[in-house]
Amino acid sequence: MIYPMPLINDLLEDLDKVLWYCSLDMASGFWVVSMTDRARAISAFITPFGLFEWNRMPFGLKNAPQIYQRLIDNALYGFLRIPPAVDQSTLTDLFKEGDPEEAGESSVLGRRSYIDDILVTAGSWDLLCDRVKALLEACDKWNISISVDKSFWGLKKVDYLGHRVSNEGLEAHPKDLSALTDLPFPRTLRAMQSFLGSLNYYGRFIEDMAIYASVLYELREVDFAAIRGQAERRRVGPTITSGEDQQNNQATADPKWVEAKAAFSELKRKIAATPILRHFDAEKRPVVIVYASEWAVSASLVQDHDGTYLPVMFTSRKLKQNELNYVIVEKEVLALLRMLDLGYSMLAGRPIQVLARHSTLAWLFRAAGLQGRLGQWAALLSPWTLEITKCTRGEDEILGSLAAAITPRSVVDQALTAIAPRKEPRRSVDTPVPTVEQDETLLVASFDGSARVKRGGGAFSAIVWRLPEWTVVKAASGWKADMTVNEAETGHVW
């Protein structure tokens, strides 16, 4: 079964005019869904007491989240449920009777849920009570129960999908923040990937995350294995130290590990001090601040609130190998395109102010006949209404009114010098032109092959020249029905 799951970022939008919240969690979860005969047979499991089948949908099945999501969506959309005992052939058919079946109720909440996590929002207390009542009636019709112990009712700030939601904005709220902030430097690649994966979920809260994490992404299992191996070999000696101390000593000696530990510590500090992201206000003008380093790009979406620009979203990514060769102006274009892509639902159709450090990008809009990537970028930016301002150093704080949650770019430049990854741009290697001296006599062979589609087999041809006169010594060609192209040109020619 394929059913579209909602995007978490979409569920966290349109909350700027909300005063009251209810965060609800369902009871029994997937168990409210009955299993079909075929599903019971497929999901049967073996025990020492025999073969058992599920009567209710269990956790762990591949399609279980999509099936339950569709069930909740139908309930929240106000669709009517057909009781199993009703014969569907007796229902009114529009094409037979000429009158449509009575429509169901309107959407209960006007928004989707994420599986069994439901957020009820309202701008007034009376509206909140009405929506909760409509939700309870829909749950009763669909035989869905709500867990009172795990739900929160009528609050101005609630926890929802790992975030703390309020009228002021969004806060990152991991279930166990201390597990991230107190985490020692990982000793395996899998542990490092688990740490980076936890941060990716809150990437919109962490400014310049990819820039700081680039050096950690460069680490490989062989690097961790080498550290563990050296730690094990050093255990034998007059002084026996722990493996973690040995790893720290090695990290102190190797610049790569020094940079990795510095980036790791900075990311832990950032996740512990994530700012409050304001809800996007459609009535305020969005401002995008782009930044590019040698190995990564980042962008910040901010809006003016009482004379102070407060963050709405952060995004960043490290550059690919070929993108390392781009000039700094082109890297800023990549940062702008990434923000326009991730924030499309908020930014589409609105005039946007862009703050860049190196160019106004006027050349990209005015130049005619652009080819390659420049032409593609110009086409992608053409539908947008952009006002791009070039800011000199010290002026990218947006006229001195930038919020403290956003780090000035000059400070970022200084901090990144200590964590720069060992990434080199792809360089073209010039192949030396072969030369022949006057007193040299050489033989040069050229051969090729092709497939015979109609007859099958492989065709081949070859020519041998004598240098420096370039006279033909021998030439041959042929076709072999029992050979492939590679066998014919490499084997039979010689």
Decide if pLDDT at 477 tops 80: yes
Please state which of the ranges 116-120, 222-226, 490-494 shows the lowest mean pLDDT.
490-494
Q: How far apart are CA 219 and CA 424, in angstroms?
A: 15
> What's the pLDDT score for residue 44?
92
**Looking at residue 482, what DSSP letter applies?**
T
Q: How far apart are CA 159 and CA 146, in angstroms?
A: 17
Q: Are 406 and 302 in contact (CB under 8 A)?
A: yes
Q: Are 296 and 316 in contact (CB under 8 A)?
A: yes
- All CATH 3.10.20.370 domain ranges of the chain, comma separated, are 286-416
Q: What is the pLDDT of residues 396-426, one digit of tens each?
A: 444 444 444 455 555 555 555 555 555 555 5
Q: How far apart are CA 277 and CA 305, in angstroms?
A: 12
335, 340, 342, 347: CA torsion to nearest 10: 140
CATH number of this structure's domain 8-167: 3.30.70.270
Decide if pLDDT at 15 tops 70: yes
Q: Are 177 and 183 in contact (CB under 8 A)?
A: no
> What's the pLDDT score for residue 334?
92
Q: Kindly state the average pLDDT of the residues 71-87.
A: 71
Tokens of 125: 């207390």
Q: Which residues contact 320 (CB under 8 A, 6 or more apart)?
A: none
Of the candidates 269, 270, 326, 275, which has an alpha carbon nearest to the alpha carbon of residue 296?
A: 326
**Looking at residue 481, what DSSP letter applies?**
T
Question: What residue type is assigned to position 325 of the chain?
Answer: N
Is residue 26 helix, strand or coil?
strand
Q: How far apart are CA 75 and CA 244, in angstroms?
A: 53
- All CATH 3.30.70.270 domain ranges of the chain, comma separated, are 8-167
Pinpoint the alpha helices (H) of 343-399: 344-347, 362-366, 372-381
Q: Are 208 and 407 in contact (CB under 8 A)?
A: yes
Question: What residue type is assigned to position 16 of the chain?
Answer: D
Q: Which residues contact 308 (CB under 8 A, 6 or more apart)?
A: 401, 402, 403
Q: Kindly state the average pLDDT of the residues 470-484.
A: 81
C-alpha distances out from residue 381 to 37, 222, 330, 391, Å: 53, 42, 13, 20
| Domain 286-416 belongs in CATH node 3.40.50.2300 | no
Please state which of the ranges 108-122, 129-143, 168-182, 236-250 shows the lowest mean pLDDT.
236-250
- Tell me the CB-side half-sphere exposure of residue 9, using CA atoms within 13 A: 17
248, containing H or E segment: helix 243-253
Task: Phi first, then psi: give them for residue 300, nearest 5 degrees.
Answer: -125, 135
Decide if pLDDT at 67 tops 80: yes
160, containing H or E segment: strand 157-160
Q: What is the pLDDT of residues 372-399, one digit of tens each?
A: 888 888 888 889 999 888 876 554 444 4
Of the candidates 420, 393, 422, which has an alpha carbon nearest to the alpha carbon of residue 408?
A: 393
